[in-house]
Amino acid sequence: MRITVVRGDITDQHVDAVVNAANSSLLGGGGVDGAIHRRGGPAILEECRRLRAGHLGGGLPVGQAVATTAGNLPAKWVIHTVGPVFTDGQDNIGPLASCFRESLRVADELGARTVALPAISTGVYRYPLEEAAYVSLWTLARASTSVDEVRLVLFDQKAYDTFDRALEALDPSDAEVEDELRRVPEEKWRELFELADGLTTEDREFTWGGGEKNEDGVIQWPYPRYSDRLWQLYVALPSANADWMKWMSGNPLRTEPARLAGAPVADAARLATVYVRGERFNDGVFGRAFQDGSMDAIIARLRTWYDTER
Ligand code: ADP
């Protein structure tokens, strides 16, 4: 499946199916929804009403998708899906990812081969653009589907730039990163896990050097002072040949590393890369990853892969 990102209007797309960022009522709204009903004409709303009179009496639940005619749009079908209203302290990622998976599932049922989708939830539903871009594209990239082309259609330049950046971070793929991990020699893995098992509280509570004037009166910029074991771990950690800066922008694994347990091992390697390469700025990011649970999550995910998956 090919994923493309274009700037444009979703109602202009000549594809088999366009996805509508609908609301639960299915009876129309603003943004994408308004544009689709305006351009598509009354046939779409009629079919939505029939769905509401039938098995969707209570409306379409968040994260699910359903198809109707595309009316006068240059497409065969509209797939309506309901994104989550972004809410602090709730799982927004699960339902947003579900919208993309379910839309592709419905597209497969219809036999659609080309599908255009908007940036679901990023309008009235206030989902932050960067995280939405990450969640949307990575969910699509990991979906199993018969769709040939998935086209993300972004309305404004900012949304386009954000999605384009997230798209570039899909390279190298999970499979390519995993191949890199397979080439890491056995003894390197054993060394890594031994070092991780031997971590002490002192290793994690690293100290800082610098900050004082030297003989020339120059103030040495503060730098983290890591234990030998932490440095050895720094060297032993496998990483991914990924554009880590692009990959980490908006990436929920930065703030919720526990999610790695359910993610492909490639993401553990990418997240390790964020901390290893980030450490070049000498700001203690590598050490902090041992304090906030990130490094434990990375090593645990690598270990599961090493023990049971590779
Ligand atoms: P939601 O309610 O899921 O947030 P919106 O329709 O309000 O959905 O917005 C979703 C995204 O679609 C926003 O980024 C918005 O700028 C964009 N958008 C609005 N109109 C169009 C259109 N005609 N084509 C493509 N994208 C659009």
For the chain, the structural domain boundaries read 2-168, 174-309
Q: Which of 33, 164, 174, 296 is catalytic?
A: 33
Instruction: Choose the residue to mutate in 9, 13, 15, 32 for probing ligand 1, maximizing ligand atoms within 8 Å of C-beta.
Output: 32
For ligand 1, whether the C-beta of 202 sits within 6 Å is no
Q: Grade residue 216 by pLDDT with cuts at 50, 70 and 90.
A: confident
Residue 102 vs residues 62, 234, 259: alpha-carbon distances, Å: 11, 40, 21
Q: Mean pLDDT throughout 92-121?
A: 98
For ligand 1, atom 17: residue with the closest CA: 155
- Whether 244 contacts 237, CB under 8 Å: no
pTM of the model as a whole:
0.94
Please tell me the distance between residue 230's alpha carbon and the centre of ligand 1 in angstroms: 46
9 CA closest ligand 1 atom index: 24
Give the H or E element holding residue 163.
helix 157-168
Residue 21 CB less than 6 A away from ligand 1 = yes
Both tokens assigned to 166: 């997230």
Task: Give the per-residue pLDDT at 23.
Answer: 97
Which CATH code for domain 2-168? Answer: 3.40.220.10
Percent of the chain past pLDDT 70, that is, above it, reads 100
C-alpha 87 to ligand 1 mean position (Å): 18
In contact, 113 and 12? CB cutoff 8 Å: no
pLDDT above 90 for 220: no
Ligand 1 atom closest to the Cα of residue 33 is: 6
**DSSP bridge partners of 149:** 2, 114
Q: Of the candidates 236, 296, 226, 245, which has an alpha carbon nearest to the alpha carbon of residue 268?
A: 296
Which residues touch 169 (CB under 8 Å, ≥6 apart)? 134, 242, 243, 246, 247, 249
Please indicate whether residue 124, judged by its CB atom, sits closer than 6 Å to ligand 1.
yes
- Going by pLDDT thresholds of 50, 70 and 90, the confidence category of residue 248 is very high
Specify whether the CB–CB gap between 196 and 299 falls below 8 A. yes
33 is catalytic: yes
Write out the E strands in 95-145: 114-117
11 C-alpha to ligand 1 centroid (Å): 11
Tell me the per-residue pLDDT of 117-157, one tens digit each, with 9 for 90 and over: 999 999 999 999 999 999 999 999 999 999 999 999 999 99
How do residues 38-67 score in pLDDT, each as one tens digit?
999 999 999 999 999 999 999 999 999 999
Structure token digits, residue 13: 């797309």
Inform me whether the pLDDT recorded for 162 exceeds 90.
yes
Residue 136 CB less than 6 A away from ligand 1:
no
Q: Ligand 1 atom 7: the closest Cα is on which residue? A: 123
CB–CB of 59/26 below 8 Å? yes
| CB 253, CB 265: distance < 8 Å | no
Q: CA 223 to CA 62: how far, in whole Å?
A: 47
What would the two tokens of residue 262 be? 């359910």
